[in-house]
Structure 1
């Protein structure tokens, strides 16, 4: 492990990693592409509430300590919030002024040589077949602002352990969790341009296309030509969450 863990992250590894090893069969590809040092961004699809743990397992076992942009609601519990902050996680209040502070914290973390993990979809996919949705701009903005590489990761299998918006995990039999790390997304032609909405949108589309390509390899299928967009197609989980 190249990076210092801190007590909170070390405790989480001690407790969570054995559970993941017992409940999953790992099928990882391309993890050696993640840099051994220096700041970078990992961007991946979101299919289950448990996949931040499986993604952290991938990053950690390749020598880096992941920092997540996490929903602020997770920090509302004083004990959990204290623990997550001690572990270096970054709370995000979406659609508020505080989201700007979270973005700045993520940029500072990457510039300080850390690994920041972002879900560009910002929530579990609503696509009926769990394909990646239309992405939001955060991951692209962090990569463009810092000049750091951004690595697309496709994942599949975590939804079998904990299906979207359910509470009861299926831990047995052990489920295959496949994760595939792609080459860094090519944003070189965009980095010296002003961060206009058009530039950010183009970078976001490239990131989502790269993530989707990894998922297609893992699933052995082609994704729909049009990405699911909650603003257009609606939130099919809204009633379930209410």
Structure 2
């Protein structure tokens, strides 16, 4: 499928969201030539702010290839937001329910029909203290290995400066005016996994390859050296529990 018609609901979302984004923020879009002009593909995006879905969506919208994001199902129940999400055909994610596979099936169907499906592989805003990407979940890799469509890594920075995710007061910090940087990279080479059985180990390695490319892009955007190992929130929480238990026995 080539660059598709935008349609009423996406135009409405753009009319609502783009003017304040254009006024309040500067933009630095990079690597848009890596976005395929036609055919289905996946984007894998880092997540560091409640604001960054708007930043990424603006970038992707401007590329001419409209994204279908996987969105928490609860947001579809919000009166106006839910209407926009349904109208723009975003994909609801039902976590830990019998409907959990619906998102997987919808994403596979979308890319096979030539659409763009956007993943936040971390599954939530990064918990890394320095805002680097965490370890990822395997959903994007699972669909990529099944469909063999390109996986485009995307790194973004700047939304987190305007709305820090873990500040005591969750409020916009608009001044001085922030620059929203979004950089897409070349497709991740996952060909070495194509003929392997998608075991948990294979999916984990493919996910690590995707996250490594996102992190490399973000290091370029930030002009900083990335950590050698991604932050693992589960391991960090387990370590905290062990430390707390150790303190309790003293």
Q: What TM-score does the superposition give when structure 2 sets the normalisation length?
A: 0.89
Aligned counterpart, 1:76: 77
Partner secondary structure for residue 128 of structure 1: coil
Distance in 1, Cα, partners of 2:145 & 2:24: 37
* 1:101-120 map, 5 Å: 101-120=102-121
**1:222 Cα deviation from its structure 2 partner:** 1.5
**1:100 Cα deviation from its structure 2 partner:** 1.0
CA RMSD for the aligned pairs? 1.6
Superposed CA deviations along residues 87-141 of structure 1, whole A, max 9, x for unmatched, are 1111102233322110110111111111111000010000011110000001111
Distance in 1, Cα, partners of 2:94 & 2:157: 27
Aligned counterpart, 1:144: 145
**1:78 Cα deviation from its structure 2 partner:** 3.8
Aligned counterpart, 1:66: 67
Q: What TM-score does the superposition give when structure 1 sets the normalisation length?
A: 0.92
Partner secondary structure for residue 55 of structure 2: helix
Superposed CA deviations along residues 164-217 of structure 1, whole A, max 9, x for unmatched, are 155422233321111211110001121122211121111100000000000111
Aligned counterpart, 2:47: 46
On the 8 A contact 1:22/1:174 being kept in 2, the answer is no
Partner secondary structure for residue 234 of structure 1: helix
Greater Rg over alpha carbons, structure: 2
Partner secondary structure for residue 122 of structure 1: coil
Superposed CA deviations along residues 8-28 of structure 1, whole A, max 9, x for unmatched, are 211001111111111211112
**1:80 Cα deviation from its structure 2 partner:** 2.4
* 1:207-222 map, 5 Å: 207-222=210-225
Partner secondary structure for residue 193 of structure 2: coil
* 1:198-213 map, 5 Å: 198-213=201-216
Distance in 2, Cα, partners of 1:189 & 1:232: 28
Stretches of structure 1 that go unaligned for 5 or more consecutive residues are 236-242
Distance in 2, Cα, partners of 1:219 & 1:5: 32
Runs of 4+ displaced beyond 3 Å? none
Total equivalences in the alignment: 235
Stretches of structure 2 that go unaligned for 5 or more consecutive residues are 239-250
